[in-house]
Chains A and B, each alone.
Chain A
Amino acid sequence: MRSGMGALMRGVVTMAVALFLNVQANAAEVLREATIGEPPPLDVMVTTADVAAVIGRHIFETLYALDSTYSPRPLLAESDRVDEGGKTIVIKLRQGVLFHNGKELTAADVVASMKRWGQFGARGKLLMGNAVSVEATDRYEVTLKLSAPNGAWKTLIADVNGGLAIYPEEIVSKAGAQPIEQKDYIGTGPYKFKEWRPNRYVELEKFDRYSSCKEAGDGFAGARVANFDAIRFVPVPDVGTRVSGVQAGDYDYAEMISGDLFDQLSADKSIHVVRSNAPIFGLFFMNSKEGILKDNYKLRRAIQMALDKSQAQRVAFGPKGLWDAQGSIFPQGSFWYSTAGTEAYSQHDAKKAKELAKEAGYTGTPIRLLVSTNYQAHFDEATVFTRQLAEAGINVQMMVVDWATLLKMRAQSEQWDIYVTHHGFQPDPILLTFLNPTYPGWWDNPEINALRTELTNSSDQTARKAAWEKIQALFYEQVPAMKVGDAYTYDIASPKLKGLNPNGPAFWNVSAK
């Protein structure tokens, strides 16, 4: 018995030593990134989840990519030509680009990817809805024919998030509506998929045969150099944990830190704060299809009239440097910035709101506000607004559910009157969700439809800008949704990381030296 124990002890000690040595041997350079949670499948073409896009952006690439001013620049494409007043688009591909499985990228892969994207891609209909045909007109040339010109075509295919990521033909045509399987995560990016350990990490490793653009890296565009042997994306849902993890050196980078920690972290020498260069904004969608708010523009205006948007933002985002209570959908400095209609943005006039609601025939019926707690900012904004509306005699009943339930419920028009979500920064108004008549909220009437066509079917930017200004004015008149305000999210990084991307977490061209 005693000698048995001795043997066991010796075994344990040997194992312990072996495990310790194992750490020492592990000298490969790995970047560890703390993400906000476990991602859904990395089939970036069909999902719009940011967690998936952040990882997928390293694996999959697009024909164009957005530079730091959010203008599209060629990535897998080399050049393009537009004929027939914008109805024919010919894209020439860069030659010698290899997929992770060693196969060369050709027009056939692009055509197959475009077809699946048009049918199942999250944002595919925006461009492919008007497609007449898409063909490989040469080994490295793709021709897209449209029934009407599309002024934003290049922007629409310049990001992986629900966008036209290029997959190998055999994988994409096999997949159809189903998500791509893990073994088929094959793209052309500077990192390739290695393994996915549920609840632990997704690991990517350097792709040695990556063929890079020649132009210098700028935002997501230009040359891409992989300086790390591997990147590990670790799901860390709790913000506090992500922060202490970077402070302790467990992670090199952490996403989406809460505003209340901003001042404290900005002063911290052991941490580098990375503020995003483009704002996101909260959106409160109104039900245009059914219920008390349908067509009752006056009541909707009464609701907006009662709100003080800066109060909500102070609670949701913290210090003043991280938010801007302004009504233009696009931020100042953007080509699309406009003040049309924005005087109605944040009046905070309870008395006027009460009168307006009375004129609109409102008698105190509860208005159902659907919100999830998965995004703390949504819940914070809803809490503040509910209180402000109560002061104006408008009775809002919060329905708090989890995000998955909200996604299901918002598709059913009888379930809600208002729901809360947010919108990421978009380079072109065509990509705004509330302009999509089939998106829950269903802003669909002759006025907006006419303006939407005016915005889409033109390639003259001045004409498009004029159309957009009219849309924004209508946005404040009919209130299909309320903009909360611009919010700048921020990430934190270890100070040893150099060359961080201003457009968001992307780790090519980043090094730790």
Chain B
Amino acid sequence: MWSYALKRGGATAVTLVAASVVIFAFIHLVPGDPIYILLGDTATPDQIDALRRQLGLDQPIIVQYLRWAGHALSGDLGRSIFFQAPVLSVIADGVETSTLLASMTMIWVLLIGVPIGTIAAMRHGSWLDQCLSGAAMLMASVPTFWVGLYLILVFAAWLGWLPSSGYPSIFEGGIANLRYLILPSLTLAAPNAALILRLTRASMLDVSREDYVRTARAKGIRPWQVVRRHILRNALLTIVSAFGFTFAALLSEAVVTETVFALPGIGRLVVQSILRRDYPVIQGVILVVVVLYLAINLVVDLSYRLLDPRVELQ
């Protein structure tokens, strides 16, 4: 087990280094210049050169990379060109919103996806199963922002029940501010619940074909107990790992939803930093998300191995 963990950890580290080179290289291929945005449209050439030197943008790209990677290792992701503040603190400001949004979304996903998926699997092949699976497929085919816009129209503009956008921190306005996240989290939940629903159904069907389940059934244990004790519990392993990935993905894939609802999260930070050519922030966010992604991947992988002895190592 330990040697496997070491091996997987090493592979992850290699992937991370390769990914960091990719992140660094491609951001520097971008057209457009942060200097113009900083200095405004009437900047003089002298002014531009001076600022370029100060920000280190005149150095060879290799030097810039090594400097950046070295600092990143010590937790310093550089300074945002636009905000003139450490990148880490800029990102940290978006973390609260993104984490809460992702968590609330996962609650909806859990409440919708797992029970309905279980029902569909238990009624496998019936018209109910077909309807539920069809509905899931429909949910996965809808653009999230489109749903979001209509949710705003109905619940914020027409009914006035919920705020349309923005999110003041719960540390400033109390947890009642969570109401700002209800519509966006529902928007994000739709396609992800569909995914989890289909996955729950599929993995339960897989498990139900296993020998030990057949044995349990043959021993005359009641069907719902078989579902609860044997099938669901084992299928949960797959579902939980999918949860891990979905959560990690949500932190960045909420880009469009955060834009629609004007949420101060990481996704919107990426889009706006792209438009402002704020290289250090774009790099920082992508790096943080990739690290998170790989870490969750590694943890899921190892826990799989730890929890389920049937998983073979390759």
- List A residues at the B interface (Cβ < 8 Å): 16, 19-20, 22-23, 26, 38, 40-41, 46-49, 120, 122-123, 162, 176-179, 181-182, 196-200, 234, 236-238, 240-241, 244-245, 248, 250, 374, 402-405, 407-408, 439
Contacts and interface: CB of A to CB of B under 8 A. Distances in A.
B179 to A, nearest CB: 11
Given A19-B175, A244-B156, A199 B268 contact: yes
B152 to A, nearest CB: 8
A408 B31 CA distance: 9
Contact of B176 (A20, A403, A439): A20
Contact of B171 (A19, A123, A179, A234): A19
B135 interface: no
A47 B40 contact: yes
Given A199-B269, A199-B272, A404-B36, A238 B165 contact: yes
Contacts of A405: 31-32
Nearest to A440: B41
A49 B38 CA distance: 10
Contacts of A177: 46-47, 50-51
Contacts of A46: 39-40, 43, 47
A404 B39 contact: no
Given A16-B175, A38-B272, A200-B93, 18 more contacts: A19-B170, A20-B174, A38-B82, A41-B38, A41-B82, A47-B40, A122-B42, A177-B47, A197-B93, A198-B85, A198-B93, A234-B166, A238-B165, A240-B164, A241-B262, A245-B165, A405-B32, A408-B33
A199 B264 contact: yes
Interface in B136-184: 152, 156-157, 160, 163-166, 169-176
A199 B36 contact: no
Nearest to A18: B174
Contacts of B43: 46, 122
Q: Which 5 A-B pairs have the closest CB atoms?
A: A177-B50, A19-B174, A241-B165, A199-B264, A47-B40
Contacts of A162: 40, 42
Size band of the interface chain B makes with A: 35 or more
Contacts of A198: 80, 83, 85, 89-90, 93, 269
B244 interface: no
B230 interface: no
Nearest to B149: A240
Nearest to B87: A198
B85 A182 contact: yes
Contacts of A182: 84-85
B217 interface: no
Contacts of B174: 16, 19-20, 22-23
Give the secondary structure class of A's interface: loop
Contacts of A404: 32-33, 36-37, 275-277
B9 interface: no
Interface string B245-287: 0000000000000001010100011001001110000000000
Give the secondary structure class of B's interface: helix
B37 A176 contact: no
A38 B264 CA distance: 11
Given A23-B173, A198-B83, A236 B166 contact: yes
Interface of B: 31-33, 36-44, 46-47, 50-51, 54, 80, 82-85, 89-90, 93-94, 152, 156-157, 160, 163-166, 169-176, 260, 262, 264, 268-269, 272, 275-277
A245 B166 contact: yes
A434 B90 CA distance: 38
Given A20-B174, A198-B85, A237 B262 contact: yes
A162 B40 CA distance: 9
B279 to A, nearest CB: 12
A103 to B, nearest CB: 23
Contacts of B272: 38, 199
B66 to A, nearest CB: 25
Contact of A40 (B32, B38, B90): B38
Contacts of A241: 164-166, 262
**Which of A16, A199, A407 has the largest number of chain B CB atoms within 10 A?**
A199
Nearest to B46: A177
B196 to A, nearest CB: 25
A236 B33 CA distance: 24
A178 B51 contact: yes
A179 B84 contact: yes
A505 to B, nearest CB: 19
Nearest to A439: B42
A19 to B, nearest CB: 4
Given A20-B175, A244-B164, A407 B269 contact: no
A123 B82 CA distance: 22
B166 A250 contact: yes
5 contacts: A22-B171, A40-B37, A177-B51, A407-B37, A408-B33
